[in-house]
Structure 1
């Protein structure tokens, strides 16, 4: 994957699915919705017409497995469908109350914002804490992926962060999470057993690996296994 592809294409696959991807998502969501507080769904963002011009699925329809089967009778597996889901986007959980936190957080924000050449800006949020993340989750739209950056190392703060992290993880075990370490600023992870990746400022490919990890984690197939 080239740098140009990362910057210019819909590399996160937001708002669009092939018929194969759509079927996988719909099947997975049937199981996921049994185990989460907030229902996930997929809505069609356009009238879907067959060759004759007949609309077989109107814009705004909730796409379920029966509609997927209907689409499979008319279109090839790679056919693109414009869709909407409430669980799209990335939230950066990174404290900016200190100079070191500001530096690390802004580096993360800049790198993530550059994915897709800035096309995903509306899908990216930053909060200072898991407490703020919990409030964000309660809104109509909520992120698919949380990227955990700088958390102040004071024991009481870490205790509070862990409490709200565990609340979110219990409420919705399907939100993907990735913790980012830094060889100088944050050498050790804060959240036990969370998948993590380290940034090394002396390694010029370090940020590139970070971006690829974000893309991989965001676009991987929905899992029907709880974390």
Structure 2
């Protein structure tokens, strides 16, 4: 066990680096993103990557499962807040910051594994609990649904100024971009509070997000 522990820790570090790299590469290249580009951005050798993952699809399936793990962790921490609104804000903010919807471009291009399905179900259960709790407390507008929250997260997390300046290596503007994202997120979250006029159209159904997979 002692010999395997360092390897496991290294694999875990590589997984985190690959996930972050995949999010950034997929934001630009979509589902056509190459494994080589992701590996290079993560600083992971392509040969060692293919020793661990036999195919590009297997790698992407694993990264999707890891991403769903981030959603689950964010929701669990949100539910730990005694204040329902604070819990929902934590969840949305965390998901936007780790670019929760960044792997959405893979929808329909890879098979859904049992692990992905199980984690999605768990993530969905937790998010519905967060939304239901906020509704019951009267802090979330009555016509806002869990799907609305998920769509908001996905849209706010896509190709942000922060990522654009990171790609350009414009460190001089990075802090300003982070501040701007926080302001935009605060404006969006305020729109989820009670006290606003009705939202246009009918509420989106869950199939809008799930059917693409």
Provide the TM-score with structure 1 as the length reference. Answer: 0.29
| TM-score normalised by L of structure 2 | 0.31
Q: Greater share of helix residues, 1 or 2? A: 2
User: Which protein has the bigger strand share?
Assistant: 1
